[in-house]
């Protein structure tokens, strides 16, 4: 990892702004911090212009095939052809929050859920929302 690389720190995007021995100075949306290499995970090996550019990057929408487990980099290249360091944070964020993907680390393969798994997740979410609405209605009536 080197200056200009985009990394994850506590599952948030950070930009390496300086390397001093075994310490990395990173800039996050909330400010700057010095951390050890073991505390950060590389997100892209290219140079990122700024943390703001990474946070504000747009992610294209694409269709994916079930049963494949591409790497993060392969999936990003599939989406963009070539992708920039700035775009890597938004892609990682979108993949992690999507019901379609199983993401643990940029270094691990990305799992793609089957249509049946997605339907079960959506059903569970709808049940949770309905239960919450019933609790709120009960509390309001009480």
First to last CA, the chain: 57
Residue 102 confidence class, pLDDT cut points 50, 70, 90:
confident
pLDDT for res 71? 84
Per-residue pLDDT for 8 more than 70? yes
In which band, very low, low, confident or very high, does the pLDDT at 99 lie, cut at 50, 70 and 90? confident
Which pLDDT score, from 0 to 100, does residue 61 have?
A: 43
CA 136 to chain CA centroid, Å, is 32
Neighbouring residues of 23: CB distance < 8 A, sequence distance ≥ 6? 34, 35, 36
Exposed/middle/buried for residue 126 (C-beta within 10 Å: 0-12, 13-18, 19+): exposed
Give the per-residue pLDDT at 27.
95
Provide the pLDDT for residue 75.
Answer: 77
Least trusted range by pLDDT, from 5-9, 64-68, 115-119:
64-68
Q: What is the mean pLDDT of residues 67-93?
A: 80
- What's the alpha-carbon Rg for the chain, to the nearest Å? 19
How far, in Å, CA of 36 to CA of 25, rounded? 9
Say if residue 74's pLDDT is above 60.
yes
pLDDT in tens, 16-61: 999 999 999 999 999 999 999 999 999 998 999 899 988 888 765 4
**CB burial readout 26-61, b (16+ within 10 A) else e:** bbbeeeeeebeeeebbbbbeeebeebebbeebebee
pLDDT at 65 (0 to 100)? 56
């Amino acid at each position: 990892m080197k200056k200009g690389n985009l990394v994850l720190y506590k599952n948030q995007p950070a930009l390496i702004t300086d390397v001093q021995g075994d310490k990395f100075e990173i800039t996050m949306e909330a400010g700057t911090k010095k951390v050890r290499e073991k505390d950060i995970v590389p997100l892209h090996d290219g140079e990122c212009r700024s943390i703001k550019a990474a946070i504000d990057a747009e992610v294209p929408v694409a269709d994916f095939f079930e049963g494949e487990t591409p790497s993060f980099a392969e999936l990003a290249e599939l989406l963009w052809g070539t992708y920039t360091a700035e775009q890597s944070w938004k892609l990682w964020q979108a993949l992690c929050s999507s019901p379609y993907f199983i993401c643990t680390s940029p270094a691990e393969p990305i799992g793609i859920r089957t249509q049946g798994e997605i339907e079960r997740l959506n059903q569970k979410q709808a049940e949770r929302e309905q239960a919450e609405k019933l609790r709120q209605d009960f509390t309001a009536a009480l």
